[in-house]
Structure 1
């Protein structure tokens, strides 16, 4: 029998435990389409890439076809008629989106895509003046966030190299400590116009202390916004109560709304109706009850809907609505509890695999400081090559971030304990054979 340094049973011999855990703690895999394995000895893939693209809910196809059918039957009258009229369609998503992120319905809207929304929000909330010009992000921010804030600095005539502050972990550490962020804001906050961090770091899976950092930023006089691409649908949120100024999130990762799906926006109600805040405007920025008066001057409502510009793409909103209904049905508290169990189980298996192999988990070990993601750094070979072998030889779908990080996301809605066991088993076998 193969044993690890601790003398515990190898993951290759622990498959029965995984099946038992799935029997006693099932998720909702039956509600999703799972890709075929395409390799290995199992028919379905062990899909742990939901932090990149979530699986398709089985309900999505029928719901989307129903919206298409309304267009076929009603033509232009579909704007005001049918089961889900198009004119107010975005409102069907508002309440469940607000519940998902801990906001009030007047603070939440689904529109555009993530980086577009961040730019629209920075039009309002990045207003450099005097010595208060800097934008604070994390050094391992997703590239699109880095590009966005640098372009905002240039737009305001500032040097992005000196304007954008990239906070780094301490030497020898992988993750950014909360006290280092709050300490920087206490010391340098008078120079900071905007704090814009990722709520969960895409590379390491670290969950930032959103309420503590928000409080520190606001105490320093800065505006605090959050990119919640890896948070929404992953961990519970309370954006209103945490006093966040603004936030945006995509819905194609944990929210399972399809590739390139629409994003969500939060703007705290204290900013609503503020005439000093600049905003870009379009037809959907004006109050709904005045929209068809066709006047040349917008009369925006005192809600987050004032940040809308264009009428919503109906066929793109349908999958978001379907997904949000699923989250409403299951509930984030239950998903978070299963996430802690599932991710903890995968961590235990990876500890055993890593014990004698050139691998390191770079995600925080404290469950309260991570979502449903464990990132593994490999000391030899290429992350891309490793994920290709996991896929084609073992039917395990993970996500590579070059040069040396492989991300595994045991999503509580549809991942299983057996998926986690397959990851550990495949990782051990692949690294043994030489990645």
Structure 2
């Protein structure tokens, strides 16, 4: 008989929250109020994270320095703007398991993806394909297809999609590696999400990077659903690049700045093509305004423009919390939260809900994707009426993500008890 460390009671959820070493971080965030004035159960951090309470103060400080100093804020503000992005570099590097020189916060996600493909999608007549997961986030699909067309290739021939086996909903690592073994000689770039946005499946970055490099392919990952969610080791795992946004698990605010990782083996490569901008120029000579681009070593050399300080200020408020909590502790709590969620869902009436996210915690993050018997959008509305926020993805999936930085075991319990009430209707 299988035993579980969980109990299907509200008392257990309360006791688990009391024993949670990270429980104080919940108080560092603003929770939207429900119709009854009580905080909502917020399980949509995989779509937009909550606002850190310090974000407004940090943004206000920069507004005050702008009003007080004008242009002199670049050098004489409380946090001089000229170097402001460096305040989050070390934090971002620790979050994704990289060296500081390998990481920069800049632009937005798809902009960064295009910039990376300029450098690392270098097709030839015999090696021009891009390997992607089928059902990748649409923006990624559009980006890789447009890059193929830009280089003169038909996306129908240049894009190689990975598909689950018949009757299965997620990919098997051995099938990804087998595809690389068979077709790697045709592939110029492997471009996968670290976590699929729809299914919640997390891929084995290290194994895929090794297999891709063994076949002579460049490899990159979209960490939109991985950064701040999984415990990442980008430097050791060895992909050539990675990109991510910061408005989901990273709580940077709507449309917040994104990030880039470029492995240090490319730090001083002058033969890699790139689009150039003045903020990527060597800092020692940047303001000499010379006509020839001299890139900074590392990821900073891919910068184009000076960054928006107000967005960086809001992001700094969140990154400080991640640094205080640590990804190891956050990941451990995340596994317990999703394990508890899975445990409770399995006790609902048979056939009411199907979990499509892998049951293996190593193959998922904080999100469980759920397919319901009946009409999923109607279920989403009933959850919202009960003060529970998830999100819906067509055709029939509700995604529930108990982000460990601010979600609780009681949140998970309340979510499933609400489902149970409707399951018996």
Normalised by the length of structure 1, the TM-score is 0.94
Q: Which residue of 2 aligns with 1:140?
A: 135
Match among 199, 207, 210 for residue 205 of structure 2: 210
Q: Which residue of 2 aligns with 1:153?
A: 148
Larger CA deviation: 317-326 vs 229-238: 317-326
- Find out whether 1:387 has 2:380 as its counterpart: yes
Q: Which residue of 2 aligns with 1:168?
A: 163
Larger CA deviation: 176-185 vs 27-36: 27-36
Q: Per-residue displacement from partner, 1:181-215 (whole Å, max 9, x unpaired)?
A: 01100111000000010101111111111100111
Superposition CA RMSD, Å: 1.7
Contact 1:111 1:262 in 2 (8 A): yes
Q: Which runs of 5+ in 1 are unaligned?
A: 1-5
Cα offset, 1:430, TM superposition = 2.8
Cα offset, 1:356, TM superposition = 2.5
Match among 337, 360, 367 for residue 361 of structure 2: 367
Are the structure 2 counterparts of residues 27 and 404 from structure 1 closer, same or farther at C-alpha, using a change threshold of 3 Å? farther
Q: Which residue of 1 aligns with 2:29?
A: 32
Contact 1:27 1:415 in 2 (8 A): no
Q: Equivalences for 1:34-433 in 2 at 5 Å? A: 34-38=31-35, 43-353=38-348, 355-381=349-375, 383-392=376-385, 394-433=386-425
Cα offset, 1:257, TM superposition = 0.7
Provide the secondary structure at the position in 2 that maps to 1:309.
coil
Cα offset, 1:365, TM superposition = 0.7
Provide the secondary structure at the position in 2 that maps to 1:137.
strand
Q: Measure, in 1, the Cα distance between the counterparts of 2:213 and 2:136.
A: 21
Q: Measure, in 2, the Cα distance between the counterparts of 1:12 and 1:97.
A: 36
Contact 1:27 1:416 in 2 (8 A): no
Cα offset, 1:272, TM superposition = 1.9
Q: Measure, in 2, the Cα distance between the counterparts of 1:356 and 1:236.
A: 33
Provide the secondary structure at the position in 1 that maps to 2:88.
helix
Contact 2:113 2:243 in 1 (8 A): yes
Q: How many residues align?
A: 420
- Tell me which stretches of 4 or more aligned residues in structure 1 moved more than 6 Å: none
Cα offset, 1:27, TM superposition = 5.5
Are the structure 2 counterparts of residues 319 and 74 from structure 1 closer, same or farther at C-alpha, using a change threshold of 3 Å? same
Cα offset, 1:322, TM superposition = 1.5
Cα offset, 1:357, TM superposition = 3.8
Contact 1:205 1:374 in 2 (8 A): yes
Q: Measure, in 1, the Cα distance between the counterparts of 2:135 and 2:423.
A: 26
Cα offset, 1:431, TM superposition = 3.8
Normalised by the length of structure 2, the TM-score is 0.96
Cα offset, 1:105, TM superposition = 0.9
Q: Measure, in 1, the Cα distance between the counterparts of 2:332 and 2:24.
A: 11
Cα offset, 1:129, TM superposition = 0.4
Provide the secondary structure at the position in 2 that maps to 1:71.
helix
